[in-house]
Amino acid sequence: MEATKFNQEPLTKRLRKGVWDVQAKFTLLEPDDKIMVCLSGGKDSYTMLDMLLHAQMVMQHSFEIVAVNLDQKQPGFPPDILPNYFEKLGVPYRILERDTYSVVTEKVPEGKTMCSLCSRLRRGILYDAAEEMGCNKLALGHHREDILETFFLNLFFSGKLEAMPAKFRTDDQRHVVIRPLAFCKEADIASYAEMREFPIIPCNLCGSQENMQRKVIKKMMLDWEAQYPNRKEIMMTALSNIHTSHLFDVNRYDFMEMIG
């Protein structure tokens, strides 16, 4: 307990600094924003809500927060935990109830990963709800490791150089999606969640699947980091240091101008 108390202040400062750094670079939070903060009940989304509430206080309530949870009707999902938590904080919230669990388990063959379909269904529901509620931005709790894992998944399995941006506009131009924890380390988030004693709700869909390629990528990065400390930080820097003339995408660089 003493160690936790001792580490509390620097840990909180590191996470807040990560949020302020991504804010300074990408301007995620702006005056008069109404932000749907999407909470799953996991460590990342709880931490994101904490960080945004602090930013709201420091920025003198220049933006509005609405906490939203999508109850996907997974068996054993405790319906009272998040509402009780939001009410304790005094945060405006809304619980969306959609049975996507049955759709995913029916459509995805046994042994195949469920994340892709589950994610698409969840996104569509959240985007529609954001429009209905008048939210111009949606905040997602992806952290540094999520972003790097996605980059390698796209590189190894989809043949494209693409990660998760800290800020982007949806294809239909209706919403801006932001990731306030983009520069925050997963290990720091895990320690913070433990310190704050968040009432974690486990996912028994993708979280229970051992054959996911994302888990393979996560282990690969952990092995790299153990052998070469600070490797993840270097990789994150690389995502902001792109030289299109040294790649092969003719849609991003005009190689024809060098003819003759």
pLDDT in tens, 174-202: 899 999 999 999 999 999 999 999 999 98
pTM of structure: 0.89
- The stretches of 59-113 forming alpha helices (DSSP H) are 81-89, 100-107
Q: Is residue 189 a contact partner of residue 181, using CB atoms and an 8 Å limit?
A: yes
pLDDT in tens, 119-135: 777 888 999 999 999 99
In the chain, what percentage of residues exceed pLDDT 70? 87
Q: Is residue 181 a contact partner of residue 142, using CB atoms and an 8 Å limit?
A: yes
Give the integer Cα–Cα distance in Å for 175 and 152. Answer: 26
Q: Is the pLDDT of residue 115 over 70?
A: no
Fold annotation for 2-239:
Rossmann fold (3.40.50)
Contacts of 57 (CB under 8 A, 6+ apart): none
Tell me, what's the pLDDT at 121?
A: 79
Query: What does the longest C-alpha to C-alpha distance in the chain come to?
Result: 70
Query: Pick from 154, 141, 163, 158: which is nearest to 238 by CA?
Result: 163
